[in-house]
């Protein structure tokens, strides 16, 4: 496979755009040249952000898994900037990446990454979040509709009737749409029956906890400072929701869902201010994505028995199973897998 080499202007421009978005540890030119050495596969990992705890785990585990297979890997994170993410993908292509593994910030905007990569003969794997309206080569994630079902099912178990609020993720993230779709599979029959009333339903720009908090305050204001339950799309939005409920004297009384099994989310589950989170075994996702990436880079056949339509067509997919985590199952899930420790969670 013929390697492409980066040029100084491309590197400098991308450094300028990236700022603190994941390139502050840029390798010196002598080492960067090694990335294009003949015979060694090179995987580019394009992350949306490293602002959230969860993505540091993906980065470390994915890099370790790729390197264990004898390939080189480089990770760049755009911290929520679409233009920076596009330029970072361009840089990795110029450096000679054989495959790009992309966590898109904006599902639709990132179609430009796929177009650019394919023009350069580089395949693209969508990691955890699906790039839409583009001929993505492969998609690896969890069953994100199932995530939403788990969230809503646990909340309904605790509050089978009453006034509900839905606090979603970023609508520009296809996963957020799928989470809501899964939640509504559980909630809609109860809404139709009249036992649940969905009094507030709002996505959260950029998945920002502060915006989720503001949205929940609006929901409380519109409903006489009373909500029986909140389905929040992840642990970050759940944190914002719990802050708003705390201010209203409702924390621990109004069950709140979450997702990602972030440390603070799990601690809230222990404290009782968050009813549940969803554990998506990141070590499994990262290791399988690394195996897929190295095979794709080497032009080997990849087994992907499922398919997900992204608006462009059916994308070959590997979808892993998410797991609901409550106070009673922390030990048998995140602690058993070594994802979090008892010391981290309980301080002992």
Q: What is the DSSP string of 100-112?
A: EEE--SSTTTTHH
Written as six digits, the tokens of 20 are 């603190």
When mean pLDDT is compared across 50-59, 145-154, 182-191, 302-311, the lowest value belongs to 50-59
Render 151-202 in DSSP notation, one character per residue.
HHHHHHHH-SSEEEEEE---TTSHHHHHHHHHHHHHHHHHHHHTSEEEEEEE
DSSP label at residue 224: T
At 110, is the pLDDT very low, low, confident or very high (cuts 50, 70, 90)?
A: very high
Query: What's the CA gap between 164 and 61, in Å, rounded?
Result: 37
What does the alpha-carbon distance between residue 226 and residue 302 come to, in Å, rounded to a whole number? 51
- Specify the 3-state DSSP secondary structure of 317: strand
Task: Indicate left, alpha or beta for 167 from its phi (over 0: left) and psi (-120 to 50: alpha).
Answer: beta
Q: Residue 37 — very low, low, confident or very high, per pLDDT cuts 50/70/90?
A: low
- Which pLDDT score is estimated for 54? 82
Q: How confident is the model at residue 53 (pLDDT cuts 50, 70, 90)?
A: confident
Lowest mean pLDDT among 22-36, 40-54, 234-248: 22-36
Nearest CA to 70 among 41, 95, 109, 50? 41
Measure the CA angle with vertex 247, ends 241 and 248; round to 5°: 90
How far is the C-alpha of 111 from the C-alpha of 162, rounded, in Å? 41
From the list 301, 266, 339, the residue with the least C-alpha distance to 61 is 339
Question: Which residues partner with 126 through β-bridges?
Answer: 102, 139
Specify the pTM: 0.78
Reply yes or no on whether the pLDDT at 317 is more than 80: yes
β-partners of residue 104 are none
Give the largest CA-CA distance in the chain: 67
What is the average pLDDT value for the chain, to the nearest integer?
90
Q: Any idea what the Cα angle at residue 304 is, between residues 299 and 306, rounded to 5°?
A: 150
Domains in the chain (CATH in brackets) are: 8-136+281-320 (3.40.50.2300), 144-280+324-346 (3.40.50.2300)
């Amino acid at each position: 496979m013929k390697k492409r080499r980066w040029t100084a202007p491309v590197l400098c421009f991308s450094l300028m755009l990236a700022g603190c978005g994941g390139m502050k540890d840029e390798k010196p030119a002598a080492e960067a040249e090694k990335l294009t050495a003949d015979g060694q596969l090179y995987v580019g990992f394009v992350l949306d952000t490293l602002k959230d705890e969860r993505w540091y785990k993906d980065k470390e585990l994915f890099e370790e898994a790729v390197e264990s297979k004898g390939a080189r890997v480089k990770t760049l994170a755009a911290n929520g900037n679409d233009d920076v993410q596009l330029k970072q993908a361009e840089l990795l292509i110029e450096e000679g990446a054989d495959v790009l593994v992309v966590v898109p910030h904006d599902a639709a905007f990132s179609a430009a990454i796929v177009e650019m990569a394919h023009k350069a003969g580089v395949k693209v794997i969508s990691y955890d979040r699906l790039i839409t309206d583009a001929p993505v080569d492969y998609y690896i994630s969890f069953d994100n509709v199932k995530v939403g079902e788990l969230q809503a099912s646990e909340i309904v178990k605790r509050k089978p009737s009453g006034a509900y609020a839905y606090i979603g993720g970023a609508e520009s993230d296809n996963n957020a749409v799928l989470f809501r779709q899964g939640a509504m599979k559980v909630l809609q029959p109860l809404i139709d029956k009249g036992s649940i009333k969905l009094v507030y339903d709002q996505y959260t720009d950029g998945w920002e906890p502060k915006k989720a908090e503001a949205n929940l305050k609006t929901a409380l204001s519109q409903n006489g400072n009373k909500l029986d339950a909140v389905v929040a799309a992840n642990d970050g939005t759940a944190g914002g929701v719990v802050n708003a409920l705390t201010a209203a004297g409702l924390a621990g009384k109004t069950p709140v869902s979450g997702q990602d099994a972030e440390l603070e989310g799990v601690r809230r589950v222990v404290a009782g201010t968050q009813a549940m989170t969803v554990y998506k075994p990141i070590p499994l996702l990262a290791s399988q994505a690394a195996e897929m990436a190295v095979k794709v880079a080497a032009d080997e056949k990849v087994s992907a028995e499922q398919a997900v339509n992204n608006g462009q067509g059916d994308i070959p997919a590997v979808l892993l199973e998410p797991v609901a985590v409550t106070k009673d199952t922390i030990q048998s899930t995140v602690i058993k897998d070594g994802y979090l420790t008892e010391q981290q969670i309980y301080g002992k």
